Copies of this chain bind each other. A is one copy, B any other.
Amino acid sequence: MPRPRPLSGFPEFLPSDRIVEQFVLDRLRSTFELHGFASVETRAVEPLDRLSKQGEIDKEVYAVRRLHAAEDSRDELGLHFDLTVPFARYVLENAGHLQFPFRRYQIQKVWRGERPQEGRYREFTQADVDIVDVDALAGHHDVELPLVVLDAFGALQTDLRLPPVLMRVSNRRLAQGFYAGLGIEDPAPVLRIVDKIDKIGPDRVADALREDAGLDAAQARACVALAGIRTADASFVEQVRALGIGSELLDDGLEQLAAVVEAGGRYAPGRMVADLSIARGLDYYTGTVYETNLVGFAELGSVSSGGRYDALATDGRTSYPGVGLSIGVTRMLVPLLGRGVVTASRPTPTCVLVAVDAEETRGAAVDVAQRLRRRGIAAEVAPKADKFGKQIRYADRRSIPFVWFGAAGANGEVKDIRTGEQLPADPDRWEPPDSDLRPAVQTRWEG
């Protein structure tokens, strides 16, 4: 079998990069749990009709079928393309066993059959937090959720020295209320066009609104003016009012968005702005919408997006409105790892390599390693009773900081192979410095 080549769009990490990923996932998990979110994992597959009815239509779905299924049997299952649609299904299915409002986080792979390119993958990891309730979900959860995510990014900024993020927030009701006040009947194509304003600019958006959405010049101008409003506090409300459009829905949206942005200013100062250009393509959002960028890495796109969805989960009688955000872990990490911005100090958890004097005394080295492990120190035994220089090189190539000698005798010694310092040590007592116990994650900025 020839050497296999990577599959485009399916990134896999080498062990040292995987250590960085684990570090990030561990921080996300602990933040979510500190905020009282319970972990849920859903199966990878959903019925195809559920995947195609809900969510973005332009996301290409992977269909799944048993290889030995009959030739003419229809595809019935597909891989999930996000974690929101499966979560909505999970809530419907298990509603009788859950306590509402239900707070869950979910960290899993998702799959999309898109054309692979930088920042677009066919398999990638998302980390989602959502709150759902029965019939109605209090508005303060729209305020709470972005703070959870900003707290998670804050932990990454502190522990990993990742750059800070800026979350941009808007509100579908605000936009739709504004469009309704302008006399626009179908807001969907307008939202879709306005969503491109970052990419194509206000002039081409105005053109498209006239040509593709059938707006007149004044309507198009007003939509572009709305999308141009961006404030770090609630002053966007006045700016919207100054455009002279009014509707009940617009008032609702303004009030909801003001509450989110005011809390952002209080609990995550400098990390959140109201940005009325944010539309979010997904059909299922009905209120607040969020997008998040790493400051200085705009080219990575949004690293965390989401919003309120009032009608995603319903069994016809009861509906389960929710609000949530998704962090694009792979999307954020692959470029940072690829550019060497974030690295692990070693590609293995091993802190101590226990040297073997001779194959006959391997058992003594295994004993020492086991005594270290019992106290939480990761250890492995040298694979071969080579000359000590060669065993040290084994450790050095993996950046394992310590080598243990004399396992078979009464006088054990441990060598820090970085400094060359070698000291007598007892496998039941010796402790490495805290900073060496586990692989560290380092961040290096250029410029």
With the chains together, A111 CA to B99 CA distance in Å?
31
Q: Which residues of B contact A79 (CB under 8 A)?
A: 44, 64
With the chains together, A66 CA to B89 CA distance in Å?
22
Give A332 Cβ to nearest chain B Cβ, in Å.
16
Q: Which residues of B contact A47 (CB under 8 A)?
A: 4, 7
The interface stretch among A232-240, A302-310, A344-352 is: A344-352
Q: Which residues from 105 to 132 on chain A have a C-beta closer than 8 Å to any C-beta of chain B? A: 109, 111, 113, 123
The interface stretch among A8-16, A174-182, A213-221 is: A8-16
A363: interface (CB < 8 Å): yes
With the chains together, A113 CA to B97 CA distance in Å?
29
Q: Which residues of B contact A315 (CB under 8 A)?
A: 1-3
Chain B residue nearest in CB terms to A383 = B101
Q: Is the CB of A348 within 8 A of B103?
A: yes
Give A322 Cβ to nearest chain B Cβ, in Å.
13
Q: Which residues from 21 to 44 on chain A have a C-beta closer than 8 Å to any C-beta of chain B? A: 22, 33-44
Q: Is the CB of A378 within 8 A of B2?
A: no
Chain B residue nearest in CB terms to A61 = B67
Q: Which residues of B contact A97 (CB under 8 A)?
A: 14
Give A154 Cβ to nearest chain B Cβ, in Å.
11
Q: Which residues of B contact A379 (CB under 8 A)?
A: 34-36
Q: Is the CB of B18 within 8 A of A39?
A: yes
Report which residue of A5, A45, A349, A359 has the largest number of chain B beta carbons within 10 angstroms of its beta carbon: A349
Q: Is the CB of B64 within 8 A of A373?
A: no
A316: interface (CB < 8 Å): yes
With the chains together, A335 CA to B283 CA distance in Å?
40
Q: Is the CB of A38 within 8 A of B1?
A: no
With the chains together, A178 CA to B270 CA distance in Å?
74
User: How many copies of this chain are found per oligomer?
Assistant: 2
Contact A12/B383 with A66-B62, A92-B4 known, Cβ cut-off 8 Å? no
Query: A340-366, CB under 8 A of B: which get 1 and which 0?
Result: 000000011110000000010011001
Report which residue of A33, A42, A53 has the largest number of chain B beta carbons within 10 angstroms of its beta carbon: A33
Contact A36/B380 with A12-B90, A67-B60 known, Cβ cut-off 8 Å? yes
Out of B4, B144, B349, B383, which one reaches A138, CB within 8 Å? B383
Q: Which residues of B contact A266 (CB under 8 A)?
A: 363
Q: Which residues of B contact A350 (CB under 8 A)?
A: 36
Q: Is the CB of B349 within 8 A of A50?
A: no
Out of B94, B138, B348, which one reaches A384, CB within 8 Å? B138
Out of B93, B99, B397, which one reaches A6, CB within 8 Å? B93
Q: Which residues of B contact A18 (CB under 8 A)?
A: 38-41
Give A427 Cβ to nearest chain B Cβ, in Å.
14
With the chains together, A144 CA to B366 CA distance in Å?
9
Give A215 Cβ to nearest chain B Cβ, in Å.
31
A267: interface (CB < 8 Å): yes
Q: Is the CB of A14 within 8 A of B94?
A: yes
Q: Which residues from 368 to 398 on chain A have a C-beta closer than 8 Å to any C-beta of chain B? A: 370, 373, 376-381, 383-384, 397-398
Chain B residue nearest in CB terms to A370 = B267
Q: Which residues of B contact A168 (CB under 8 A)?
A: none
With the chains together, A226 CA to B33 CA distance in Å?
53
Q: Is the CB of A133 within 8 A of B380?
A: no
A19: interface (CB < 8 Å): yes
Q: Is the CB of A15 within 8 A of B98?
A: yes
Out of B36, B93, B398, which one reaches A378, CB within 8 Å? B36
Chain B residue nearest in CB terms to A32 = B349
Query: A146-170, CB under 8 A of B: which get 1 and which 0?
Result: 0000010000000000000000000
Q: Which residues of B contact A94 (CB under 8 A)?
A: 14
With the chains together, A50 CA to B363 CA distance in Å?
39
Contact A104/B36 with A10-B45, A60-B66 known, Cβ cut-off 8 Å? no
Q: Is the CB of B384 within 8 A of A1?
A: no
Can you report 9 A-B residue pairs in the complex whose CB atoms are below 8 A from each other? A4-B50, A5-B93, A10-B45, A12-B42, A15-B39, A44-B44, A61-B66, A101-B383, A144-B366
Given A3-B93, A60-B66, 8 more A-B residue pairs with CB atoms under 8 Å apart are A12-B42, A14-B98, A34-B376, A35-B378, A36-B378, A38-B348, A44-B79, A60-B67
